[in-house]
Amino acid sequence: MDLRGRYADVRPYTVPDVFAELAGPAEGVVVLPTSLDWTPKRSYDLADDADVRLLYETVLREAMHIEELGRHVNGELLVQVWPRLWLPLRLRAMWESRFPDLAPAAT
């Protein structure tokens, strides 16, 4: 039995109720606590697009509390990088169903 698919289907993800809760910094350097990022690179420069994407991919996957999202994710920056984030499909779907403006426009 393949358990990998099962875990992806039940893994808990946190999504805020209101987009305005995403009031994290828009500039400077963000250092994540080890509860969110246990890798050697826990410092992310918000002036670097690759750092912003890696930071948001990590926080969106690992945050267990709304406060963690609000502290580290800036809504305006999230909108800018959203199409380029590499996220689990279920996580992306959860965010796009709560915030339809994130979903790609139908062509």
| Whole-model pTM over 0.75 | yes
Q: If pLDDT is split at 50, 70 and 90, which confidence band does 10 have?
A: confident
**Tokens 């969106």 correspond to what residue?**
60
CA distance 22 to 51: 18
Burial (Cβ within 10 Å: 0-12, 13-18, ≥19) of residue 38: exposed
Strand partners, 31: 43
Strand partners, 29: 45
Report the pLDDT value the prediction gives residue 11, as an integer from 0 to 100: 82
pLDDT per residue over 14-31, tens digit each? 999 999 999 999 999 999
Helices 49-62/89-98 angle, 10° precision: 90
pLDDT per residue over 16-70, tens digit each? 999 999 999 999 999 999 999 988 889 999 999 999 999 999 999 999 999 999 9
Q: If pLDDT is split at 50, 70 and 90, which confidence band does 6 have?
A: low
